Amino acid sequence: MSRLFSDAVLVGLAPAHITIAGKRLGACEPEPGGAPWQGAVAALASAPLANCRVSVELSSRFVRYALVPWSSALATDAEEEAYVRHHFARIHGERAKEWAVRASEAARGAPRLASAVDRALLDAIRAAVVGKPGAKLVSIRPQLMSRFNAWRRAVPAQGAWIVLAEPDRACIALHGSRGWRSVQNAKGDWRALLERERLRVDGEIPELVLLGGATVPAGEGPWRFRGMAS
């Protein structure tokens, strides 16, 4: 089979489909009783990615997020990982032991944005890509991290909301002048989730919303929406 995509390829994994270089491939479903990512990984395993450098972007459905308070007591990477994992365990219980965790950089004293992903999902992605002739897995990133890095220049000094809408759910995050101030990843309509998160945040709140995955609404409430490329 001939290769359909360029050497550097971005793959998006969601529960019901995958996208490759911005092109959506057919619907995929997990096996009954299986993990929600199984269908997407199976589609990835059959995708024509030989000799490609593959970067994978994970739907918020596959990721847990949290803001982790700053700690000056962390001296090593192992201590940092244990601290972040403990924070997730307080929220989600013992199942957090099976997750791979990471935290973003932050200004001294500011909270850090942390993410947690099932290790089994990461292993399955690696196996699916490495099994293709000449393919190399470059990175696996949560969608929020990937999109924020791509949109960062659009975030003004006073901050902005990042909204990633998906069918029946959304990830809502607020980035301010000193870093991350809020994150919510939940089921529901993205507009309702944004309004709810606005009420939860203390202090001055920016009106700018960088929106991905949904049509920009016209003149709704206090917001100033800007549609962003996926």
The model's pTM: 0.89
How would you class 137 by CB atoms within 10 Å of its CB: exposed for 0-12, middle for 13-18, buried for 19 or more?
Answer: buried
Structure confidence at residue 220 (pLDDT) = 67
Q: Where are the domains of the chain?
A: 8-60+118-143, 63-116, 155-225
pLDDT tops 60 at residue 6: no
pLDDT tops 90 at residue 178: no
Secondary structure class of 229 (helix, strand, coil): coil
Helix (H) or strand (E) run with residue 75 in it: none
Tell me the angle at which helices 38-46 and 119-130 cross, rounded to the nearest 10 degrees.
10
The predicted-structure confidence for 46-73, as pLDDT tens digits, reads as follows 998 989 999 999 999 999 999 999 888 8
Mean confidence (pLDDT) of the chain: 90
Nearest Cα residue to 214 out of 168, 166, 172? 166
> Which pairs count as long-range contacts for 197-206, CB under 8 Å and 24+ apart, including other chains?
197/172, 201/174, 204/158, 205/174, 206/156, 206/158, 206/159, 206/160, 206/161, 206/174, 206/176
Phi then psi for residue 117, to 5 deg, are -135, 145
Angle at 128 between CA 127 and CA 130, to 5 degrees: 60
Distance of CA 204 to the CA centre of its chain: 25
Structure confidence at residue 177 (pLDDT) = 86
Contact 56, 137 (CB under 8 A): yes
The predicted-structure confidence for 109-124, as pLDDT tens digits, reads as follows 889 999 999 999 999 9
How would you class 211 by CB atoms within 10 Å of its CB: exposed for 0-12, middle for 13-18, buried for 19 or more?
Answer: buried
Structure confidence at residue 1 (pLDDT) = 39
Rounded mean pLDDT of 206-223? 89
